[in-house]
Amino acid sequence: MSFRIAGPRLLLLGLQLFAKAWSYNLDTRPTQSFLAQAGRHFGYQVLQIGDGVVVGAPGEGDNMGGLYHCRPSSEFCQPVSLHGSNHTSKYLGMTLATDAAKGSLLACDPGLSRTCDQNTYLSGLCYLFPQSLEGPMLQNRPAYQECMKGKVDLVFLFDGSQSLDRKDFEKILEFMKDVMRKLSNTSYQFAAVQFSTDCRTEFTFLDYVKQNKNPDVLLGSVQPMFLLTNTFRAINYVVAHVFKEESGARPDATKVLVIITDGEASDKGNISAAHDITRYIIGIGKHFVSVQKQKTLHIFASEPVEEFVKILDTFEKLKDLFTDLQRRIYAIEGTSRQDLTSFNMELSSSGISADLSKGHAVVGAVGAKDWAGGFLDLREDLQGATFVGQEPLTSDVREGYLGYTVAWMTSRSSRPLLAAGAPRYQHVGQVLLFQAPEAGGRWNQTQKIEGTQIGSYFGGELCSVDLDQDGEAELLLIGAPLFFGEQRGGRVFTYQRRQSLFEMVSELQGDPGYPLGRFGAAITALTDINGDRLTDVAVGAPLEEQGAVYIFNGKPGGLSPQPSQRIQGAQVFPGIRWFGRSIHGVKDLGGDRLADVVVGAEGRVVVLSSRPVVDVVTELSFSPEEIPVHEVECSYSAREEQKHGVKLKACFRIRPLTPQFQGRLLANLSYTLQLDGHRMRSRGLFPGGSHELSGNTSVTPDKSCLDFRFHFPICIQDLISPINVSLNFSLLEEEGTPRDQKGRAMQPILRPSVHAVTKEIPFEKNCGEDKKCEADLALSPPIRSGTLRLMSSASLAVEWTLSNSGEDAYWVRLDLDFPRGLSFRKVEMLQPHSRMPVSCEELTEGSSLLTKTLKCNVSSPIFKAGQEVSLQVMFNTLLNSSWEDFIELNGTVHCENENSSLQKDNSAATHIPVLYPVNILTKDQENSTLYISFTPKGPKTQQVQHVYQVRIQPSAYDHNMPTLEALVGVPRPHSEDPITYTWSVQTDPLVICHSKDLKRPSSEAEQPCLPGVQFRCPIVFRREILIQVTGTVELSKEIKASSTLSLCSSLSVSFNSSKHFHLYGSKASEAQVLVKVDLIHEKEMLHVYVLSGIGGLVLLFLIFLALYKVRAFRWLSWGQRRDIGMDQEERAGPGRLRAQTSLSSLHRLLQVRETSPSLRLTLAQPGLREERKRRRPYTEDLLIAQTALGPVKQRCVIYTW
């Protein structure tokens, strides 16, 4: 098997962002890095040879490419000498391959270029070096194509018919001039013929030479003919008159005819005379839109017609046609006359890929056969080569780039296979597998593998993997670096050998978030770096930030789908770019007997060392081996017996997995002990009350142990399941770890497995001497089952009783089967107390179509011997379900340790009647009679009318509506009452009502609304029913005294209450109307009115007399009022006259108040008036005297001057 270095064929760009690297099992601290004065492409390819590294550095700009040999003892690399080579290699180092068996090196430059008659040829230059890179060196130019200058005589036959306007005709002339200018310095000769109804030679080959190949002179005076389009005639004219020696045609030149037309031929005929002329036809304009019209041009073109017919919709596109025409002409000029349609090896770029196996070298020739590609089988001395390509060579395989990558697939029992990638095949990519020939035989193609995504470059990188290192490659890795999906850029497809074919088994991909990461641009098979004796694989993603390398470990039968490590260039070297564009890792470069991995980047090569892989063997033990019952029982008291807990011992030792490493192994571990870590509440506690304990320890290959102790909280409920003790540990990355001879830290790494150990310590069982508990459970049905009322807020409570007459029962479970119309709500423990644990869960699976199952854990986990409990399970009602008259609930109790012979009483059932709701509302109408009265002189008969409304509300159970009956109760008259009455009942809709006399109770006199007659009216099921009760009341006796009587009617609705119930209670379906009856007795009242009037007059006279006696009507004369005013004015002055006068008036009244204590005085608001005649202002004060006989007003007038 060979190891070839994988790398991209494109110059990659990178981003400068930081990323974190995983740690298994390459040390991300670079052991060494190499530099050279070779430009930024130093590191494009890397390869481990002997005790050093060969680095390829393709040239850039004017710089040449080269090879550099880097040794671990020096940071700088020395160029590899190319003694005896007489070639300059610009791209040497772009391809490197090594032979694992012989150690030889194959280096190629796929860009060896040379000019042939102004055409550039590309081939390859390869060198074969021995392992020492010294001594004899072999070189070869595989697929080198000698320059063959060919003569071409080309005639332009252009349309000048009347369908062309002047502007389009000028564009045809400019196109011909452009072609002639660009090919003026070649071995081409040109002539031009215009055709319409007739033909006209514009210039011959002789004219072209005489006019110094000047197209402006040759076509400067050409005018269109503006007639028909006789194409057949024109082609025959060119054969007969232009391709002649007298017109300057050369006998040994290739004849080419370029026909330019805008319409279908007007004539008919044949062109058999032009069979030896290569005919290229250009159809222009809207006339050739349809496929049928386009086919009319095929008769004039050479075979294959799709290569020699070009359709343009506008004349403006003629100026862009030269590239395609030049390609066709170039093929004609540079190839043999047997194949005028494609290149052979002129642009082979041989050496763009290479691989070596057991001295057998192959190189890719991607540009061969019109870029269909292939590969070259080189002889051992590189002096001969056999080209192998895809056959047959059809248009589908052209430009497929076969040979872009090649990889040997070694085999022990048969001839080896070679995988060759064609990443541009049909734009989806393809990989072909060929079987190597026996001596003198042929290569046989055995399998095709095609890509799936357009533009993914499937086959752009190949890698064969000998997984178990037995000499036979089991895996073929196919890279698609431009694949896009799930925000990931790049994909690697893993194919496994199945007998003679390879089948895809998995896909490898990088981290999301890098759609342009180019994952898979480099793929290489490493040696076993993790000590599992399986080959590991490295994949480069040079555009994931500054670049990244993924490590995928081998596993039996393939590769792990997840990477064990992702190393980012930013962590290795800040500022590095394109990290991971080439990778190789099969040798130890540092002397520690562990393989090192070499990674190429932009202008730098980094060496990463493998770390020794170890496994930590751990052991857990307990003393005592079972938890004593007295340590956890609730009745246990610390005063009676001391608790000791459990002693825990944890032991560690290192087991190396990379035995080739001979250094001292010492690992610093961080560990964590957990008790019942999977539970919310732990049943074990370390000193300090925590269920978790952490620490650090040093571990060597020798066994070392640590001792711990834990105890238990009081009253543990779960005494069945053992306590889980888990030990987790990880490697501490810190200073002080062992170092190698050069002082570098040699930190071991743990194997990527579960770094944890778990062990359980059980509880002692209280089951007697035999240590085997046998329970005897029983389930009793509910004593009071009640009824199920179907209503929105209805709930059903069912009580079950469980008992255990045997030994302790473990994990007791009650299973209840109940109708689907019920939904579990909650469960409660009634006896012995509500704190005993019980929980229920409604199962969604395993139930039947009619029932559901409820599983309840009772007294988890132990149901003790002789214990009895009562559970109440509550359900909600699902109203949209269908119901029968009864529902059935079945219960069964289980446990883990009950013998089947004792399970006869483990089941019970109960039947509960179902009551359907009836939603009836009754009320009396407002137009019902509520009052009547009788007088001796009034009418003797009056009508009483009571109207009731019965509404039946809609519900989900209208289909189950019972038979309804309206009961109307009316009173029956007493013999002592002065009135009699009769009753009748009518309904809407009309039904027949039947009356019935009711028995009178002895206490009827005390219950005036007790009905004496009852009307029974069946109710027709409608949403609304009206019931009218009409009574005729007659005064049958004389009214001797006034009195009030009451008449009542009542309404109720009855139905079968054994199956139905009132949704809102029976009161909602009852109504009553009460009528008040007044019996009025009238008397003679004239003498009463006369005596009342006389009494009123006498009373009025007495009131006036009393007021006179108390001087309430005494008035001051005018002179008295004036004297008082003048006297006050003289004493007080004019400013106080008004106020004092008012006060004097008030004083007089106060004197009256003293003689009459019952008099109350009120000073009203004074008002100012003016006497018009005397022009004297005056003030009126209104005094109101309140006496026992009534108010008496006194108005006082005070004049001011």
- 417 by Cβ neighbours in 10 Å (0-12 / 13-18 / 19+) ranks as buried
Cβ-proximal residues to 1095 (8 Å cutoff; 6+ apart), any chain: none
Q: What is the pLDDT of residue 633?
A: 62
pLDDT-wise least confident of 323-337, 758-772, 1100-1114, 1147-1161: 1147-1161
Quick: pLDDT tens for 771-781: 788 889 999 98
What is the average per-residue pLDDT within 1061-1087? 81
CB atoms near residue 680 (< 10 Å): 5
Q: 615-761, which class in CATH?
A: mainly beta
Q: For the chain, what percentages of helix, strand and coil (3-state, to nearest 5) are there?
A: 15, 40, 45
Q: What is the pLDDT of residue 652?
A: 93
Q: Which of 805, 770, 762, 781 is closest to 870 using CA atoms?
A: 781
Quick: pLDDT tens for 220-238: 999 998 888 899 999 999 9
Cβ-proximal residues to 303 (8 Å cutoff; 6+ apart), any chain: none
Q: Matching CATH topology for 615-761 and 777-918? A: yes
The CA-atom distances, in angstroms, between 259 and each of 160, 199, 317 are 12, 13, 16
What burial letters (b/e) apply to 510-524, b meaning 16+ CB within 10 Å?
bbeebeebbbbbbbb
Q: At what angle do helices 166-182 and 322-334 cross, to 10 degrees?
A: 40
Q: What is the pLDDT of residue 198?
A: 92
What is the average per-residue pLDDT within 852-857? 90
User: Which neighbouring-strand residues pair with 1160?
Assistant: 1186
Pick the more confident residue, 1088 or 799. Answer: 799
Residue 489's pLDDT band, with cuts at 50, 70 and 90, is very high
Q: What is the pLDDT of residue 665?
A: 82
Residue 1124's pLDDT band, with cuts at 50, 70 and 90, is low
User: For the chain, what is the mean pLDDT?
Assistant: 82
What is the average per-residue pLDDT within 670-688? 90
- R_g of the chain, CA atoms, integer Å: 59
Pick the more confident residue, 47 or 1132. Answer: 47
Q: Which of 415, 413, 532, 425 is closest to 478 using CA atoms?
A: 425
Q: What is the pLDDT of residue 8?
A: 38
Tokens standing for residue 1013: 């007659």
Q: What is the pLDDT of residue 390?
A: 86
- Could you tell me what percent of the chain has a pLDDT over 90? 35
- 697 by Cβ neighbours in 10 Å (0-12 / 13-18 / 19+) ranks as middle
What is the average per-residue pLDDT within 51-77? 89
Question: What is the rounded end-to-end Cα distance, in angstroms, of the chain?
Answer: 148
What is the average per-residue pLDDT within 130-136? 81
Cβ-proximal residues to 852 (8 Å cutoff; 6+ apart), any chain: 817, 818, 819, 820, 822, 842, 843
Q: What is the pLDDT of residue 308?
A: 87
Highest mean pLDDT among 402-411, 587-596, 1036-1045: 402-411
CB atoms near residue 696 (< 10 Å): 11
Q: Which of 671, 678, 726 is closest to 694 using CA atoms?
A: 671
Q: What is the pLDDT of residue 337?
A: 39
The CA-atom distances, in angstroms, between 320 and each of 180, 285, 1113 are 15, 15, 136
Q: Which of 1005, 1066, 995 is closest to 1029 using CA atoms?
A: 995
Question: Would you say 629 and 673 are in contact if contact means Cβ atoms under 8 Å apart?
Answer: no
Alpha-carbon distance 722 to 483, whole Å? 52
539: alpha, beta or left? (left if phi > 0; alpha if psi -120 to 50): beta
Quick: pLDDT tens for 980-1026: 888 899 888 888 898 888 876 655 555 667 888 989 998 876 778 88
Quick: pLDDT tens for 147-177: 656 788 999 999 998 888 888 899 999 999 9
Question: Would you say 85 and 47 are in contact if contact means Cβ atoms under 8 Å apart?
Answer: no
pLDDT-wise least confident of 86-90, 683-687, 1131-1135: 1131-1135
What burial letters (b/e) apply to 1044-1062, b meaning 16+ CB within 10 Å?
ebebbbbbbbebeeeebbb
The domain made up of 777-918 has a fold known as Immunoglobulin-like (2.60.40)
Domain 3-145+346-609 architecture: 7 Propeller (2.130)
Residue 1042's pLDDT band, with cuts at 50, 70 and 90, is confident
Tokens standing for residue 398: 């052209």
Residue 1125's pLDDT band, with cuts at 50, 70 and 90, is low
The CA-atom distances, in angstroms, between 386 and each of 297, 350, 365, 374, 818 are 40, 12, 11, 10, 83
CB atoms near residue 258 (< 10 Å): 23
E strand or H helix that includes residue 725: strand 723-731
Domain coordinates of the chain in residue numbers? 3-145+346-609, 153-334, 615-761, 777-918, 920-998+1008-1079, 1111-1199
Write down the residue that tokens 């179907």 correspond to. 790
Q: What is the pLDDT of residue 236?
A: 94
Q: Which of 284, 277, 268 is closest to 303 using CA atoms?
A: 277
The domain made up of 920-998+1008-1079 has a fold known as Immunoglobulin-like (2.60.40)
Given the candidates 3.40.1190.20, 3.20.20.70, 3.30.530.50, 3.40.50.410, the CATH classification of the domain at 153-334 is: 3.40.50.410
Has residue 365 got a pLDDT over 70?
Answer: yes
Widest distance between CA atoms in the chain: 175
